[in-house]
Structure 1
Amino acid sequence: MSSIGGFLAAGLIGAYKYRTRGTMSTSVFLMQLRVAAQGTVVGCLTIGLAYSMAKEYLFDKAPKENAKSLTN
């Protein structure tokens, strides 16, 4: 759900900034908006991956019980 909220917020902010862009051309504005959106996505993916790796390798020190041996 938070990704949908983030998408809507980014769309509303982009629409507002488009209306108040002044003399900047539309193509330059859209190029800057695309770069900002891509940077945000890369940042979110990096933070999510770092959190996932930290949770799995640093914070979860309990032994895994679902690993079964190959011998009976």
Structure 2
Amino acid sequence: MVIGLAGLASAVGYGLYSYKNRGSMSTSVFLMQFRVISQGLVVGALTAGMGYSLYNNYINKPKPVDVEH
């Protein structure tokens, strides 16, 4: 969650900086490109999280704890 919020803050900061220095590009084209880049980052983050979860569940299984009473 913290990594996601930090990524969001950095993406918004980069977007604002890029928008200010976009040159002659129209606002609609800039926002369309920024939306595509943002969606790509979200899909990549979801894929990485799912891969990590699958790795922990199927490959790196936790060993059962033997509790003696």
Instruction: Quickly name the TM-score band, shorter chain normalised.
Output: 0.7 to 0.9
Q: Distance in 2 between matches of 1:9 and 1:57?
A: 33
* Compared CA separation, residues 26 and 59, structure 1 to 2 (3 A): same
> With structure 1 as the length reference, what TM-score do the two structures score?
0.82
State the 1:29 CA deviation: 0.2
* Compared CA separation, residues 46 and 64, structure 1 to 2 (3 A): farther
State the 1:64 CA deviation: 8.1
Alignment of 1:1-72 (within 5 A): 1-60=2-61, 62-63=63-64
**Identity percentage over the alignment?**
46
Higher relative contact order (CA 8 A, sep 6+): 2
Question: Which consecutive residues of structure 2, in runs of 5 or more, have no partner in the other structure?
Answer: none
Q: Distance in 2 between matches of 1:16 and 1:33?
A: 12
Question: Which consecutive residues of structure 1, in runs of 5 or more, have no partner in the other structure?
Answer: 66-72
> With structure 2 as the length reference, what TM-score do the two structures score?
0.86
Structure 1: which amino acid aligns with 2:11? A
Q: Distance in 2 between matches of 1:39 and 1:22?
A: 24
Runs of 4+ in structure 1 deviating by more than 2 angstroms, as ranges, are 61-65
CA RMSD of aligned residues (A): 1.6
